[in-house]
Amino acid sequence: MTSTSAQTAPSAAFATFVVVGERTNVTGSARFRKLIKDGDYAAALEVARNQVEGGAVVLDVNMDEGLLDSEKAMVTFLNLMAAEPDIARIPVMVDSSKWSVIEAGLKCLQGRGIVNSISMKEGREAFINQARLVRRYGAAVVVMAFDEVGQADTFQRKIEICEKSYRILVDEVGFAPEDIIFDPNIFAVATGIEEHNNYGVDFIEATRWIRQNLKGAHVSGGVSNLSFSFRGNEPVREAMHTVFLYHAIQAGMDFGIVNAGQLGVYDDIDPELRELCEDVVLNRRPDATERLVDAAPRFKGDGSAKEKTADLVWRSWPVEKRLEHALVHGITEFITEDTEEARAKAERPLHVIEGPLMAGMNVVGDLFGAGKMFLPQVVKSARVMKQAVAYLMPYMEAEKAASGSTQSSSAGKILMATVKGDVHDIGKNIVGVVLACNNFEVIDLGVMVPMQKILDTAKAEKVDIIGLSGLITPSLDEMVLVAAEMERQGFDLPLLIGGATTSRIHTAVKIHPQYKASQAVYVTDASRAVGVASALLGEKRHAYVDEVRREYARLAEAHARGREDKRRLTIQEARANRPDFDWADHRPVKPSFLGVRAFDGYDLGELARYIDWTPFFSTWEMKGTYPMILDDDRYGVAARALFEDAQAMLRQMVEEKWLTARGVIGFWPANAVGDDIELYTDDSRTTRLATFHGLRQQIARDSSRSNVSISDFVAPKESGVADYVGGFAVTAGIGEDAVAARFGRANDDYSKILSQALADRLAEAFAERLHQRVRMEFWGYAPDEDLSPQALIGETYQGIRPAPGYPAQPDHTEKATLFRLLDATANAGITLTESYAMWPGAAVSGLYFSHPESHYFGVGKIERDQVVDYAARKGMSLAETERWLAPILNYDPDRVAAADAAE
């Protein structure tokens, strides 16, 4: 195993790594042993508390000492721990070599515990007996790689013992795989004995093998054993542990018995020491031990835990410069006292905002505009600004009440809303924060806002600009309606358009023509919002609007030409060019069950391992692929800081259960009938349960490529092949709105947006993980799949999960059928809005196809003949069908209707 260029902060796997606190172990901590022997249980509880505060997720408690009554000590300590809520909130690993002590400990636990450990060192029969007792207590179990011959030291011995133990526990005892934690033995490296040099690699590779082959099982180990040769040199030991964990966690190690308060950060290790440690841990060179031994004294410290000391030189600066520094660096720690000091000096509290605070935000704006600060840093700056303003607000309100003033000093008042039927607002929130940073007053109406509420609020609040946001394609139509209604009611305010599905073309072709009284302007992202708003309200606004109108006229003309230039097939021609699969030799796998299965309270820690971090950075307008973005010349510093904050919050989300993940999957007998897919109640296939309707590509092709529809991936009914289709709906957003509201009340937009972005990532990860389990377990058409999370993100597996409303099936109304089949509201807590957006917003739904040739594709633009045919198949009116398919129509329904009327 070799290191790679992606050696930055430990990967997303660190978010789910379970730190098992080791200091409540009399065999591993001299201090704890002395406290227990002296009967000083109050101080011993402090050791436990420090481990929890240091990041331990499980506490390993061991009382195996020759001069102790181990059973009594275990019972006393565990009962005392149970009375301490801040300690008792995490599980206990009852650790002993004596079964009587383990059993005494298990009887004290209030929740599920973990037994550390059992093994086959006394033979198969004793192993089975202990395993059955553990299962009777409902505990998970650590299984040592140990048999009658001894502890496993080589890779081969480790995997042989673990595989044998796994088969006994799962097949004979009935253990759930996820309740098995293997300890393949971490041994000391750099001992001077050549046979020991590969111990680190053997553990890491055994871990990788276990996670790939013993499905569901976990891997743990006592990390301090690794560095035994360097006892007394804590900085070197800590560096060795950090390097080892970096690589072991990537291989799949998800538990570790470590000193939770003394784990380092991979990137913070001295580069020379890090390389020396990696040479030893990964056995990269024959002289690795000698080189680390020679260098170790230079890194030796006093062994005390490191304390982070902040550079507080800036605290001696004048208050104006302190406020600027706090804003630029996102420091909230001193903002209240500094704001009060500035208020005491100022003639009016408003002058603090107009003076040093806005001066600081101007610096932020300049740095952001110059590309020297990035969106996450700006949002942190906004958090500082909002907290300062919140402190000043009571003073300003009192002053206004005394004077009767209603004057506003903002650069302009902007109303923002996510339109009716849409629930997504992360991008809107970011834009609002950036605008507020630049002295715009922002009124945010939230999500699913009806048109009339937007317009009534705009009038009542006398706003200067209205901003509309949306993510799903039906929102585009809603924006057109809002623009037309603004025109009808005589509004003359600029209209900003933004969101994932919006575009400059759509704004120019659809929205702009509906609103002649003023101007609709598409805003690419948050970094452009201030410039656009300032231009629309500035002295040169008329020249700016004229320029936008000329640009939109050019775009509309080019768009019309593009429609005419691209030749498309009739729907009959497109169907004749469908893929030609050999159904005679295809034997679809039948799923392990038919109907639906729900998942309630799915483990967030498990899902975190499947997060695709690249879209997370895109949310913050940082373009690049994870993990390379962490070392990017432009974004690297900001990306690492953002990632560190995300990891910290993700750990809290997982440990404190901020969110609840619920999901449902289903499988049904199915066959294709033309461009549609019929689902049946059972395998007799006599009674139709539902129909999914497909749309087909109509673009004319010059090559041998086919014109595809989702129905092509299901066996045609006339083939006689018994095929199946699956569906799913998952969310990790139950509780998301309460978390966001809590941060909103604290004027912490940064944490609010961060929590929303993480909830979205967890929902996508849930979809990814369930799809993996579908392929391997529930449908089981790829039981031997062996892919890393990175390979999963790259979609290198068999089968697809396209979603209604997205390129392969752009019709959002198909979600209604899917949700009815899954009973998704009851089974997963997900509802559909009138525009078929899912609530909670952090949700994903779609279909499952298993055919080996199935692949993702885009339907693209379609012609009227297909829309007429599709409307008839769905039993919808042509007008309603055109409304839902508006973004992909290759014709203008109004012009066609007008032409028909003229004939």
List 147, 254, 422, 760, catalytic entry: 422
- 505 sits in which H/E element: helix 504-506
Give the 3-state secondary structure of residue 263.
Answer: coil
| CA 621/CA 730 separation, integer angstroms | 26
Helices (H), 724-748: 736-745
Task: State the first-to-last Cα distance of the chain, in angstroms, to the nearest integer.
Answer: 75
Rg of the chain on CA atoms, in Å: 31
Task: Let me know: does 374 contact 638? Beta carbons within 8 Å.
Answer: yes
| 699: β partners | 568
| CA 745/CA 757 separation, integer angstroms | 18
Task: Let me know: does 289 contact 197? Beta carbons within 8 Å.
Answer: yes
| CA 678/CA 352 separation, integer angstroms | 67
Comparing CA positions, the residue from 620, 433, 464 lying closest to residue 536 is 464
Token couple for 712: 């092509």
List 247, 424, 506, 851, catalytic entry: 424
Residue 6 C-beta-side C-alpha neighbours within 13 Å: 13
| CA 750/CA 282 separation, integer angstroms | 39
Q: φ and ψ at 56, to 5 degrees?
A: -65, 135
| Residue 719 CB neighbours (<10 A) | 15
Task: Let me know: does 296 contact 236? Beta carbons within 8 Å.
Answer: yes
Give the 3-state secondary structure of residue 503.
Answer: coil
| 226, 233, 261 from 301: Cα distances, Å | 19, 7, 16
Token couple for 447: 């999500």
| 497: β partners | 468, 522
User: Given the DSSP bridges, would you call strands 465-469 and 440-444 parallel, antiparallel or unpaired?
Assistant: unpaired
Q: Who contacts 768 (Cβ-Cβ below 8 Å, separation ≥6)?
A: 610, 612, 792, 793
Comparing CA positions, the residue from 233, 115, 248 lying closest to residue 185 is 248
| Residue 69 CB neighbours (<10 A) | 12
Residues of 248-270 as b/e, b for ≥16 C-beta within 10 angstroms?
bbbbbbbbbbbbbbbbbebbebe
Give yes or no: 424 in active site. yes
Give yes or no: 475 in active site. yes
Backbone φ/ψ region at 557: left (φ over 0), alpha (ψ -120 to 50), beta: alpha
| CA 279/CA 274 separation, integer angstroms | 9
List 11, 117, 229, 475, catalytic entry: 475
Task: Let me know: does 759 contact 425? Beta carbons within 8 Å.
Answer: no
Q: Who contacts 440 (Cβ-Cβ below 8 Å, separation ≥6)?
A: 410, 411, 412, 413, 414, 530, 533
Say which DSSP state 224 is in. G
Token match 């542990």: residue? 241
User: Given the DSSP bridges, would you call strands 440-444 and 412-418 parallel, antiparallel or unpaired?
Assistant: parallel
User: Given the DSSP bridges, would you call strands 676-680 and 660-673 parallel, antiparallel or unpaired?
Assistant: antiparallel
Give yes or no: 422 in active site. yes
Active site residues: 422, 424, 475
